[in-house]
């Protein structure tokens, strides 16, 4: 028996010696909040050997102190693994014999950790494991988010393509004398000018006077005032038409008692009274120059030309920041989109005004139809699919009035966006299946018709960016996908290049022009983001086939700062859309500030732009409503 006891004592002594000399009794340290510098209690830490064979877990006490006991000598990583905190590698340490009793981290420089920033439930945490359905939901959200990014990127690439074509064409023509057809009055064809109007008491007389002054042989010249007015405008028009008629000008006042088909209906109803072989259309806010026909009609010497479209000018561009930004955006369309598509031989569109149609082209394409709100885009594509060519004259400018109020701008945008969606639904299959249309024309044509849907992707992207932040906080394995959001930066740069080439306020000082342009570009981008909610509603209505009346843009006859903007047609009231814009301003503003405070700056610029954009649109509306109420 004594021998057995001696042997056991020896074994115990050897084992005790081995454990004392091959492990550290205690690894100790402290962890504090990265922002507040206060101790973090009950945070879970992991000490894991480099070969992953030994793992120890510790939870800090109320003073933020952690302890790992009986840790074998080895090299370890110390990590934060708590679900409520951002994953973080704190330190790498090697335990040796001199650490047999204790390994004490520097108490004067405690480790720091930051809590996950979230204002939603922690859906990545389900009894210590990532819940399957939450993880799947996160992947679905990321998939939709990525799709929106790709659609915006695809749009920006096509715009970049048009910009490169446009700039290349401009460089080729620089310094060269361009031969243009010459106007010959002796064999000029008969022309009919159509002026469609509905309750335009502020500008009706102006456009009739301007149209009457257009230079053209008077025996081959007709003016039709297509009047659907229901107020005193019809009397103003009747009086002005009589005055112009007394000057020996062939002018008719065609008044309808109903608005069937709205503008398209008025144009279609007057076709049997059109005397000219060519039809010029001007909206009531335009002020074409007297030589408009002399500069455009010669292009019709080519029998294949069905439409000649001119560039819109802006008579009140400097009225306010709102009109400056509208001019900035429209210049992009009338330079790069129209010019680039023309240079590449792609389809362009008649812009509803400031253009001339060959009457035969209208008839051959099926005439004016009023099943969409953008009858101009609809007829343009039907005509070009039929084989008609369109000519765009960038150097011929037809000045027009820009909307001066947010409500008027929204009316215009709603009609354009909804009409664009309606035309896409109506035309996409016809465009794809048409045998005489080139593949590149089909791609650019589909993109053109689909353009208004960009706002749907912008709104979806912005709304999903909120749960995306939470996915980033909750699912470390999905973080790599979020990094692809940088593709949005590429899209922004492509669009910046697009608008730089259409920017018409350049001076000889390129540096100053560039700085001014960058400021204007981001102002335009911010307001466009702010309009994305109301424009998306219009697009969805178009795709769902929800019919609405043709709400024309109120005209103010405002040419310069200080002119009165009173307009009885410009109805102002707070809508559910306005309220939602205010809510989105608060949500994105709060998120931007919250993320900034915690140092997570990735999406802060995007959310800040959204907050400013929605805020600008919201407060613009509130100020207009308040001003309108004071005037009543």
Choose among 333, 329, 325: nearest CA to 309: 333
Catalytic residue among 82, 227, 228, 473: 228
* Token pair recorded at residue 455: 């706002």
* Token pair recorded at residue 605: 């610029």
Cα 590 from chain centroid? 22
Choose among 262, 539, 323, 502: nearest CA to 413: 539
Beta bridge partners of 254: 226
Burial class (CB in 10 A: 0-12, 13-18, 19+), 270: buried
Give me the half-sphere count of Cα atoms (radius 13 Å) on the Cβ side of residue 531.
27
Choose among 321, 310, 330: nearest CA to 499: 330
List of E strands, 185-227:
191-197, 221-227
Query: Known catalytic residue: 228?
Result: yes
Choose among 106, 105, 111: nearest CA to 27: 105
Tally of residues, the chain: 632
Quickly tell me which residue has 């043709």 as its tokens. 550
Burial class (CB in 10 A: 0-12, 13-18, 19+), 232: exposed
CA–CA gap between residue 313 and residue 91 (Å, rounded): 65
* Token pair recorded at residue 348: 């362009």
List of E strands, 375-526:
389-400
Catalytic residue among 376, 378, 473, 570: 376
* Helix (H) or strand (E) segment spanning residue 243: helix 233-245
Cα 513 from chain centroid? 24
Q: What angle do CA 302, 305, 307 make, to 5 degrees?
A: 140
> Do the Cβ atoms of 233 and 199 come closer than 8 Å?
yes
- φ, ψ of residue 602 in degrees (nearest 5): -50, -50
* Token pair recorded at residue 237: 């028009």
CA–CA gap between residue 240 and residue 246 (Å, rounded): 10
DSSP annotation of 488 reads H
Residue 385 to residues 231, 340, 349, 430, Cα–Cα distance (Å):
40, 19, 12, 8
Query: Known catalytic residue: 376?
Result: yes
Q: Is 252 helix (H, G, I), strand (E, B) or coil?
A: strand
Q: What interhelical angle do 439-450 and 406-433 show, nearest 10? A: 150
Catalytic residues: 228, 376
């Amino acid at each position: 028996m004594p021998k057995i006891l001696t042997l056991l004592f020896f074994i115990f002594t050897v084992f005790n010696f081995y454990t004392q000399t091959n492990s550290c009794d205690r690894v100790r340290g402290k962890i504090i909040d990265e922002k507040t510098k206060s101790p973090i209690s009950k945070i879970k830490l992991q000490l894991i050997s480099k070969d992953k064979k030994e793992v120890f877990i510790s939870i800090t006490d109320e003073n933020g102190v952690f302890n790992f006991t009986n840790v074998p000598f080895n090299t370890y990583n110390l990590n934060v693994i708590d679900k409520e905190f951002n994953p973080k590698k704190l330190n790498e340490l090697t335990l040796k014999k001199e650490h047999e009793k204790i390994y004490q981290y520097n108490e004067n420089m405690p480790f720091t950790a930051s809590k996950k920033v979230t204002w939603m439930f922690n859906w990545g945490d389900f009894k210590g494991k990532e819940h399957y359905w939450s993880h799947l939901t996160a992947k679905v959200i990321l998939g939709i988010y990525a799709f929106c990014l790709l659609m915006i990127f695809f749009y920006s690439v096509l715009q970049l393509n048009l910009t490169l074509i446009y700039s290349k064409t401009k460089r080729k023509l620089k310094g060269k004398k361009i031969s243009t057809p010459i106007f010959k009055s002796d064999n000029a064809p008969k022309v009919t000018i159509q002026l469609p109007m509905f309750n335009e008491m502020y500008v009706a007389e102006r456009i009739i006077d301007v149209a009457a002054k257009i230079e053209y042989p008077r025996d081959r010249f007709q003016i039709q005032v297509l009047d659907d007015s229901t107020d005193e405008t019809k009397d103003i028009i009747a009086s002005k038409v009589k005055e112009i008629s007394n000057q020996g000008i062939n002018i008719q006042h065609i008044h309808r008692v109903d608005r069937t088909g709205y503008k398209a209906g008025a144009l279609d109803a007057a076709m049997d009274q059109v005397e000219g072989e060519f039809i010029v259309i001007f909206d009531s806010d335009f002020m074409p120059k007297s030589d408009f026909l002399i500069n455009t009609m010669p292009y019709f010497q080519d029998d294949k030309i069905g439409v000649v479209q001119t560039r819109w000018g802006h008579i009140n561009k400097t009225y306010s920041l709102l009109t400056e930004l509208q001019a900035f955006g429209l210049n992009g369309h009338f330079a790069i989109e129209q010019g680039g598509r023309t240079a590449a031989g792609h389809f362009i569109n008649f812009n509803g005004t400031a253009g001339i149609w060959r009457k035969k082209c209208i008839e051959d394409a099926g005439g004016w139809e009023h099943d969409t709100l953008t009858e101009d885009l609809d007829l343009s594509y039907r005509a070009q699919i039929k084989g008609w060519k369109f000519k765009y004259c960038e150097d011929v400018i037809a000045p027009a009035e820009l909307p001066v109020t947010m409500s008027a701008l929204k009316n215009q945008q709603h009609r354009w966006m909804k009409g664009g969606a309606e035309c896409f639904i109506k035309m996409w299959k016809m465009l794809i299946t048409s045998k005489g249309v080139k593949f590149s024309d089909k791609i650019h044509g589909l993109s053109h018709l689909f353009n208004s849907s960009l706002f749907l992707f912008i709104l979806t992207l912005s709304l999903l960016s909120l749960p995306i932040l939470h996915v980033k906080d909750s699912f470390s394995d999905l973080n790599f996908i979020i990094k692809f959001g940088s593709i949005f930066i590429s899209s922004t740069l492509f669009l910046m290049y697009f608008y730089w080439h259409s920017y018409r306020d350049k001076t000889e000082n390129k540096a100053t022009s560039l700085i001014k342009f960058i400021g204007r570009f981001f102002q335009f981008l911010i307001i466009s983001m702010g309009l994305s909610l109301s424009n998306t509603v219009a697009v969805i209505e178009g795709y769902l086939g929800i019919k609405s009346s043709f709400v024309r843009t109120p005209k103010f006859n405002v040419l310069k700062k200080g002119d009165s903007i009173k307009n009885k047609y410009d109805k102002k009231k707070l809508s559910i859309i306005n309220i939602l814009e205010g809510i989105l301003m608060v949500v994105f503003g709060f998120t931007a500030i919250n993320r900034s405070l915690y140092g997570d700056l990735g999406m802060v610029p995007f959310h800040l732009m959204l907050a400013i954009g929605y805020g600008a649109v919201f407060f613009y509306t509130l100020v207009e409503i308040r001003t309108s109420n004071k005037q009543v």
